[in-house]
Amino acid sequence: MIEKLEKLNSIAISELYKTSDINAINLWHTKHLGKKSHLMAYLRNLGQLPAQDRPKVGKLANEIRYKLENAYDEHKNTLVSQPTTTNKNSIDITLPGRPINRGRLHITNIVLRKIYSIWADMGFQIYKSREIETDELNFELLNIPKHHPARDMWDTFHTNTPGVILRTHTSPGQIHAMRTYCPNPIRVILPGMCFRYEQITARSEIQFNQVEGLAIGTNIRFSDLKGTLSTFAQRIFNKNTKTRFRASHFPFTEPSAEMDVECFLCSGKGCGVCKNTGWLEILGCGMVHPTVLSNGGYDPNKHTGFAFGMGPERIAMLKYGIDDIRYFWGNDLRFLEQF
């Protein structure tokens, strides 16, 4: 009889801790502690046992009942304090695990990697330059002396240290690259973040990426610039992309130009996106100014070169039909997950 009681206790405890809701634990109580349970039957039939066995068996049966009652109360309180299966925050351990969302590249990085790949195919290497610059490198050595009106083109973030600023463009990297490689030929792109103190709108931000390009050698002509950039446009957009060059002005290039691509939405017919011109501007470019060549260590009588600067976010906006540059920095998953 004692062995049967101990086995009954072991089975009851095992079944108790397998229950996971209130209904199941109530059924357990009826099965093991109810009036018709095996334990209660043993207690009712104590009179049928030999007189010498009754005290020992009765004591053990009552101890088991007491332990089971305590275990029942404790486990029930635990279940009550936990969220029920109808609670939206509950966890059903019988369900398959939730998949972990994989990270993905930001749309700017996708476009930047495409740009890197295209220029690498053309023999250009990446040259990194610093984001915190001196006024001398950001302006003066690029043929923009102090108080020159051209400085109004770049709304500058100044620091507490006189002469130290956040770079307004990646063009200072031209001086760094020239002084690193002079007198050897150069073919580099200089990607990085730029900062300008501007009003944030759908078309402008206070921080943005730029990719500068620089090629220096002998007998480099404007026709080389045009052919190189037209090829780039066809690679980044599509092989049928049409381009045009318009005369412009930048202090560090002479002559200077801006390159447009035919509007993708209206195929050159004119629409609201291209302001009815049929063209969209994607970058500025020109032949490196002799003064800038000299500041970089090259002899402008022997060397020539071309430079260009483009905005990856602007290219992404044209390529994917994005109408607001603020989306790139808004961290809105509804936007980012499209790429």
Question: What is the C-alpha separation between 237 and 257, in angstroms, rounded?
Answer: 20
Query: Reduced to 3 states, what is the DSSP secondary structure of residue 104?
Result: coil
Residue range(s) defining the domain that contains residue 294:
107-336
Hey, which residues does 262 pair with through a beta bridge? 279
Do residue 206 and residue 73 come from a single domain?
A: no
Query: Reduced to 3 states, what is the DSSP secondary structure of residue 17?
Result: coil
For CA atoms 179, 181, 185, 186, the dihedral sign is negative
Do residue 69 and residue 112 come from a single domain?
A: no
18 within domain boundaries: yes
Do residue 62 and residue 117 come from a single domain?
A: no
Please report, for residues 29, 67, 86, 254, the alpha-carbon distance to residue 10 in angstroms, rounded to integers and kept in the order given. 15, 11, 32, 93
What's the one-letter identity of residue 298?
Answer: Y
Given this model, what pLDDT does residue 232 score?
A: 96
Instruction: Work out how many domains the chain is built from and give that number.
Output: 2
Q: What is the pTM of this model?
A: 0.68
177 within domain boundaries: yes
Question: What is the C-alpha separation between 226 and 286, in angstroms, rounded?
Answer: 9
CATH of the domain at 312: 3.30.930.10
Under the banding of pLDDT at 50, 70 and 90, the label for residue 82 is low
Residue 30 pLDDT more than 80?
yes
Question: What is the C-alpha separation between 247 and 171, in angstroms, rounded?
Answer: 19
277 within domain boundaries: yes
Which pLDDT tens digit goes with each residue over 103-152?
A: 889 999 999 999 999 999 999 999 999 999 999 999 999 999 988 887 87
Question: What is the C-alpha separation between 20 and 26, in angstroms, rounded?
Answer: 11
Do residue 255 and residue 305 come from a single domain?
A: yes
The Cα angle at residue 131 between residues 186 and 113, in degrees rounded to 5: 60
